[in-house]
Structure 1
Amino acid sequence: MPRSIPVLFIHGLWLHSASWQPWIDLFRREGYDPSAPGWPGDPDTVDEARQNPESIADHGIDDVVDHYAAIIRGMDTPPILIGHSFGGMIAQKLLGQDLAAAAVAVDAAQIKGVLPLPLSALRATLPVFKNPANRHRAVSLTAEQFRFAFGNALSQEESDALYARWAIPAPGKPLFEAAAANFNPHSPAKVDTANSGRGPMLLMSGGKDHTVPETVTRATLKQYRHSEAVTEFMTFPDRGHSLTIDSGWHEVADAALAWLGRQNLETPR
């Protein structure tokens, strides 16, 4: 395949875009053209994000989609999208809008139509939902909350190290929007799951994920049953929500690379 194809990495809540750097280095070595621009309002560094949470606050799903859509429209070639958590939802929306060549959605946040809401997912997001005013604020996790939401499949030491390195405040608005999605016919969490002309998509899931349990990802897969486009599922049974940033990230990245290599993306869409 032409190795100049761009790859756009999209982070989710509570992680800085710089957490994609190992993936960027790997994909660049494989000949792709990778980048990981942050969400609207994201400062350039983890420290700046922690010091200026108000810059991140009150950005909703549509704001983030429009932000990345504008980046994509400035590219010469539709990119491959790789998104984690809410970044996985954003990737699905952009792919459904025919703005990407393909997408890999890793532990993607619930889209409209997905009904399972496991108790672990409620607990993982409780720091946001416990106060309705958090809809318009940026909310930080404690190291303990991060361990439950991200690092439950890791040692305490590794979870704490990832928290110290990558955790940043996150806007509460996307979580409130996703929670109300099935009651809102115009929800920003709605994805064009019936689009048969879009590029291929892979849904990846961590079997021990508390924040986006495998049942949620499997339910997401079912939402695409009316599309003839390639939609595949892959699970990592012993991994949690940290699977893109922890010591086992390479296995996930290699699997994404191998899957992309099978998708016949030689001709940009």
Structure 2
Amino acid sequence: MSTPVLLIHGLWLHATSWAPWLTLLRESGYDAEAPGWPGIPDSVEEARAHPEAIADHGIDDVVAHYAKIIEGLGRKPILIGHSFGGMIAQKLLGQDLAAAAVAIDAAQIKGVLPLPLSSLRVTFPVFKNPANRHRAVSLTAEQFRYAFGNAISPEESDRLFERWAIPAPGKPLFEAAASNFDPHSPAKVDTANEHRGPLLLITGGRDHTVPESVTRATLKQYRHSEAVTDLLEFKDKAHSLTIDSGWREVADASLGWLRKQSL
């Protein structure tokens, strides 16, 4: 029986942006799927046309959504998550719902203190209006280029924006921003779990949205667990590393790590 893999996207990207990864994983013998977040329509065009369907879904909603999908699989999957999807993957792994997780440029979890200026610039379109907590917010092509495409050509960034970018719910960003002041924050992950599956944290050295300092601070949160927690850095990559022309290098590294874990 093939090992199931769930790919979890983050904010501002549609689930179909995982298409090349799905092909590679299936060719490599995995039973891979990329279900979208709750409320997100099946196509990029529908998602752009109906932002109200996406709005007001928070971290707990997304975790519950994927937990229900996992329950239907009948066995623990491997999770591969990007950005906020990386945070969701860590939460599910900490709850012992996954066999392993690869968290790529994962959004900060509770306990992570660095708040780089570049991250603030990326999230300003959401935080500039408190009402955006209950709305879905779109990025402009220029904002997308800063948040995702700063390590690739402007032309490639604009192509990716046109192909994959969708509105994103503001609620998860507000929840993450307040996490270190909220003892019951949904951004809290069970980082001390000794019995969870292995975790690989991947960071892009040029990422504006989730800079390397955030990922390294995330790694430190796992210091009290003896479970496998590894870190891999791609120095010349930014937040678009799962969807741009260099995606295969990241995917191959993820597959290589999984094989080392006998997965």
1:51 aligns with 2:56: no
Match of residue 12 from structure 1:
10
Could you tell me which of 208, 211, 232 is aligned with 1:210?
A: 208
Query: Which secondary structure does the structure 2 equivalent of 1:126 belong to?
Result: helix
Query: Equivalent residues in 2 for 1:39-78 (5 A)?
Result: 39-78=37-76
Could you tell me which of 163, 166, 179 is aligned with 2:177?
A: 179
Amino acid at match of 1:175: L
TM-score, scaled relative to structure 2: 0.99
Could you tell me which of 241, 248, 258 is aligned with 2:246?
A: 248
Could you tell me which of 234, 259, 262 is aligned with 1:261?
A: 259
For residues 23 and 177 of structure 2, what CA distance do their matches in structure 1 show?
A: 35
- List structure 1 runs of 4+ shifted beyond 6 angstroms: none
Unaligned runs of 5+ in 1: none
Q: Give aligned pairs, total.
A: 263
Match of residue 87 from structure 1:
85
Query: Which secondary structure does the structure 1 equivalent of 2:69 belong to?
Result: helix
Match of residue 197 from structure 1:
195
Amino acid at match of 2:52: E
Match of residue 239 from structure 1:
237
Query: Which secondary structure does the structure 2 equivalent of 1:14 belong to?
Result: coil
Match of residue 223 from structure 2:
225
Match of residue 124 from structure 1:
122
The offset of 1:156, in angstroms, is 0.5
Query: Which secondary structure does the structure 2 equivalent of 1:38 belong to?
Result: coil
The offset of 1:57, in angstroms, is 0.1
Amino acid at match of 1:120: S
Amino acid at match of 2:24: L
Match of residue 38 from structure 1:
36
Match of residue 156 from structure 2:
158
Amino acid at match of 2:35: P
Amino acid at match of 2:25: F
For residues 139 and 152 of structure 2, what CA distance do their matches in structure 1 show?
A: 17
Query: Which secondary structure does the structure 1 equivalent of 2:73 belong to?
Result: coil
Could you tell me which of 133, 143, 158 is aligned with 1:135?
A: 133
For residues 127 and 6 of structure 1, what CA distance do their matches in structure 2 show?
A: 36
The C-alpha deviation readout for 1:193-245, integer Å capped at 9, x for no partner, is: 00010000000000000000000000000000000000000000000000000
Of all paired residues, the percent bearing the same amino acid is 78
For residues 42 and 96 of structure 1, what CA distance do their matches in structure 2 show?
A: 25
Amino acid at match of 1:227: S
Q: Name whichever of 70-79 and 37-46 sits farther off.
A: 70-79
Amino acid at match of 1:240: A
For residues 149 and 131 of structure 2, what CA distance do their matches in structure 1 show?
A: 27
The offset of 1:77, in angstroms, is 1.7
Unaligned runs of 5+ in 2: none
The offset of 1:76, in angstroms, is 2.1
The offset of 1:264, in angstroms, is 2.1
Amino acid at match of 2:62: V
The C-alpha deviation readout for 1:44-64, integer Å capped at 9, x for no partner, is: 000000000000000000000
The C-alpha deviation readout for 1:48-91, integer Å capped at 9, x for no partner, is: 00000000000000000000000001112210000000000000
For residues 116 and 28 of structure 2, what CA distance do their matches in structure 1 show?
A: 38
For residues 12 and 54 of structure 1, what CA distance do their matches in structure 2 show?
A: 17
